Amino acid sequence: VVIDELARNGVRLIVLSPGSRSGALAIAAAAHPGIEAIVVIDERSAAFHALGRSKATGAPAAVVSTSGTAPANWFPAVVEADMSCSPLVLLSANRPEELRGIGANQTIDQTRMFGDKVRAFTEIAAPGDEDLDAGWRAGVSRAVGAALGNGDRPGPVHIDIAFREPTVPVSDDGRTRADPYPYPTEGRPGGAPWEHAPSAARGEVPRLGYRPRGLVIAGDGAYDRPGLMSAASELGWPVLGTALSELRGTPVIDSYHHLLAAPVPDRLRPQTVVAVGRIGPSERLEALFGMGEERVRIDAWGRHIDPGRNATSTHAADPVAALRHVEVGDRDETWAQEWATAASRVRRALRDDLAATTAASGAGVATALDVVDWGCLVAASSLPIREIDAHITRSGPVVANRGASGIDGLVSTALGVASALPRTVAMVGDLSLIHDGNGLLHDGRRDLVLVVVDNNGGGLFDSLPQATHAPGYERLFVTPHGRDLADLARFHRVGHARVEAMEGLVGAVEDALARGGTTLVVVPVDRAHDLATRRRLDAAAVSAVGDA
């Protein structure tokens, strides 16, 4: 009943981890024709796998685990799902009430174990003598509704389900058989869900003032992208599109990260800046936001976003409706053109510089990926998301775990994305890869190319103050591991290619996509050269802006 009700509410992928108490859920999920059931051994990876699917489709995906520490391993993915507003359904099996708190094996208090990180917590009682079908179905249906937002933010929900033995038709001692459940279990006619989730409600449309020199910084979240572009264009305001806005390529300004390395000249200084959703990873966008006289934050999910604590107003509203609501005054026709010119000069300078360098760098990898015909790009936290944000000009789905910016769970997130979107390519740091190596322990087929920037540790720290001020910097922060990632590929029986020269990268990724299955394409990168490249690109952008 529980699994069927999940399917009726739009769940198509259930990620199972092994265990006895959850056995009935696993058997039912594997048998349900409307569900893909995949087994992932490590529960932390399992939850990220489901999260990747949810991020790729916007539909809820589910995980099932046994009792005890098993569901506790979901916590990192729950945090990310909460922060990134991704619908995720967590189904933990548990002992029935009478076996809790008395020292029964593998039994912990699972009640509200994810605290306020979940949108809803529901307990489903073990089947007993009374008819519980409606209660089970209503509980599941309402929980999925809450995961989808129910008029508010989407996010994770937790359903804890009690099972009395026997958990399969025969009990542990092999003797007892359970009586058949005597009540009807059909659910609503026509395969309908038990309850229909109310549609999302939006706040009132704010009335923003008009100034000719306005900028829109498009971040993550739920809004109509083409609608935002046309509304901004009506106002004569350029749109700066972050990687997670998926708005890239002319007329979108996508070279802002290096462009903003220069002091912003007067001709590019905004009067109004409207930030839509969360606008990372480039911290330079926050500085640009701070330059506006009017600084507006709008989030369709109503998240409170104001990291600089400098917004002149914040709104829980549809950003497109808000921009359409602005009464246009006298436009400054040179304004958008100034931004477009600076942005395209910077883009050309970045491309020219990288074309003249043969040594591998993160920027070079991202630039090569701009040429690959990917269906979805997954970006690991740390440098990969920053390089993708700086260098990708193709628009298309981009997924990253930027809700909480963990480097964990990335392999599994990408595998979950690949379960729904063809030609998924992920750009990953070596630590991110190793951290979630267990994600490769699954029994599904996933076509995924993981392009690994192998700089032997965390290269991001080279740009942080620790690099020059912390004793023991290399060991304590960079954590060079010296592992050969080909060994990881061999252990997990996935494909492997090593690309030393940048000009071979596009071909290697295209080949791996054509072959199918999962492949690690490892690009060794020297950390010092990588840092020097980022600085050189900043300098190239500064002179490109200055020359205009």
Shortest approach of ligand TPP to residue 104 CB, angstroms? 33
Q: Is 305 in the site for ligand TPP (CB under 6 A)?
A: no
Decide whether 215 or 523 has the Cβ nearer to ligand TPP: 523
The three-class DSSP label of residue 297 is: strand
Q: Is 455 in the site for ligand TPP (CB under 6 A)?
A: yes
DSSP 12-36: -EEEE---STTHHHHHHHHH-TT-E
Only one of the segments 80-88, 216-224, 331-339, 457-465 lies at the binding site for ligand TPP (rule: CB under 6 A); that segment is 457-465
* The binder of ligand TPP chosen from 357, 395, 405, 463 (CB under 6 A): 405
Q: Is 412 in the site for ligand TPP (CB under 6 A)?
A: no
Contact predicate 181/127, CB 8 Å: yes
Binders of ligand TPP among 529-548, rule CB under 6 A?
none
Nearest residue to ligand TPP by CB is 429
End-to-end CA distance of the chain: 66
Residues in Cβ contact with 121 at an 8 Å cutoff, skipping those fewer than 6 apart: 111, 112, 114, 157, 158, 159, 160
Region at 69 (left for phi over 0; alpha for psi -120 to 50; beta for the rest): alpha
| 208/205 Cα distance (integer angstroms) | 9
Q: Is 383 in the site for ligand TPP (CB under 6 A)?
A: yes
Decide whether 297 or 402 has the Cβ nearer to ligand TPP: 402
Q: Is 408 in the site for ligand TPP (CB under 6 A)?
A: yes
Q: Are strands 495-498 and 448-454 parallel, antiparallel or unpaired?
A: unpaired
Q: Is 4 in the site for ligand TPP (CB under 6 A)?
A: no
Other residues' Cβ atoms within 10 Å of the Cβ of residue 75: 16
Only one of the segments 33-41, 375-383, 492-500, 504-512 lies at the binding site for ligand TPP (rule: CB under 6 A); that segment is 375-383
Decide whether 107 or 405 has the Cβ nearer to ligand TPP: 405
DSSP 313-382: EEEES-HHHHHHTS---S--HHHHHHHHHHHHHHHHHHHHHHHT--S--HHHHHHHHTTS--SEEEE-TT
Q: Phi and psi (nearest 5°) for 506?
A: -60, -45
Q: Phi and psi (nearest 5°) for 337?
A: -65, -40
Only one of the segments 19-27, 202-210, 400-408, 535-543 lies at the binding site for ligand TPP (rule: CB under 6 A); that segment is 400-408
| 70/42 Cα distance (integer angstroms) | 9
* The binder of ligand TPP chosen from 406, 440, 489, 545 (CB under 6 A): 406
Based on its alpha-carbon atoms, the radius of gyration of the chain, rounded to whole angstroms, reads 25
| 541/275 Cα distance (integer angstroms) | 23
* The binder of ligand TPP chosen from 299, 430, 436, 447 (CB under 6 A): 430
Q: Give the number of residues in contact with ligand TPP, rule: CB under 6 A.
A: 17
Q: Is 360 in the site for ligand TPP (CB under 6 A)?
A: no
Q: Is 193 in the site for ligand TPP (CB under 6 A)?
A: no
Site string for ligand TPP, 16-55 (x = CB under 6 A): ----------------------------------------
Q: Is 429 in the site for ligand TPP (CB under 6 A)?
A: yes
Only one of the segments 30-38, 212-220, 347-355, 399-407 lies at the binding site for ligand TPP (rule: CB under 6 A); that segment is 399-407
Shortest approach of ligand TPP to residue 458 CB, angstroms? 3
Closest Cα partner for 455 from 391, 531, 544? 531
Q: Is 381 in the site for ligand TPP (CB under 6 A)?
A: yes
Decide whether 82 or 318 has the Cβ nearer to ligand TPP: 82
Q: Which residues bind to ligand TPP, rule: CB under 6 A?
A: 380-384, 405-408, 429-432, 455, 458-460
